Structure 1
Amino acid sequence: MYVKQLATKMGVTPDTVRHYTRLQLLRPIRNLSNGYQQYSQRDQQRLSFIINARQLGFSLQDIQQIIAESEQGHCPCPLTRQLITKRLAETEALFQQTLKLRTRMQAAVKQWQGLANGASAAEVCSLIESFVDPISSTDNKPEA
């Protein structure tokens, strides 16, 4: 199976297949008669694993580590559990930040609903600055 055939079958772009091939996550065999790379059933299974792992939040680096662990003959399950726990913690932190942002946005909408629509640029900036999160704004200040 060629790049485009594998991509179509798996619902990804040919560039995605080529990218994973460059990272050596997929290992096609070069056809000597025409120079094209041919992907095997094993590559298709590997691509399916990569797609599923990405949908679970694993990074490509995580996937490379899991595959390397497996190819070395080790059980990748402990590493996989460790990585998913780390990704879950990162996702939870991002989720909490998003909830805080949502709360600030809701408060801004509520406060700004009563204001006139013809606000000047200075008034708009003032409205925006009134909702700066003091914790976030100190994190973004340049260091002296």
Structure 2
Amino acid sequence: MLTVNELAIQSDAPSHVVRYYVRIGLILPADQQENGYRLFKTQDVSRIRFIRMAKNLGFTLNEIRQIIRHADVGESPCDDVRNIIQHRISENRIKIEEMLKLQARMEQALELWKLMPNGVPTGLSICHLIETIENSEE
């Protein structure tokens, strides 16, 4: 049996992360000592490592919880894992496209602004640089 700190050391995770996983129910103590220390099974080292690997692949904690639930009842979570990753890849491609468009707008704006003098707020204008871009897109 391992304490939170021992579990953290063996799973190479900060102890506050282990405590957080306990608080949200991703790992559960097997026992509790009279002094209040929670004790964990050595298998929880693997579970914490799994959680951290899944997070590193982009899975959310709720998705990881879903995967663990399947595994805990002896069901293969692999179909869910594939579906989640496929969905995440599609989302990422959309975000990447949006970011590339934003990057292009920013670079175009900067080029335009290099040719423009500094302005002073007039009460009607806050920053003519940004307002010029806004007007050119309308």
When normalised by structure 1's length, the TM-score is: 0.79
Q: Percent identity?
A: 32
Structure 2 match to 1:104:
105
Cα distance in structure 1, aligned partners of 2:131 and 2:79: 47
Deviation at 1:8, TM superposition (A): 4.1
User: So what's the TM-score if we normalise by structure 2?
Assistant: 0.82
- The one-letter code of the counterpart of 1:119 is G
Higher relative contact order (CA 8 A, sep 6+): 2
Give, in whole Å, the separation in 1 of the partners of 2:67 and 2:111: 48
Count of paired positions: 134
Runs of 5+ consecutive residues of structure 1 not aligned to the other structure? 138-144
Residues 59-68 or 4-13, more deviating: 4-13
Encode CA deviations 1:61-113: one digit per residue, 9 max, x unaligned: 11011111111211111111011111111111111111111111111111111
**Mapped contact 2:119–2:128 kept (Cα < 8 A):** no
Look up the match of 2:57.
Answer: 56
Matches within 5 A, 1:1-144: 1-116=2-117, 118-121=118-121, 125-132=127-134
Deviation larger for 10-19 or 90-99: 10-19
The CA deviation at 1:11 is: 4.3
Runs (4+) off by over 6 Å: none
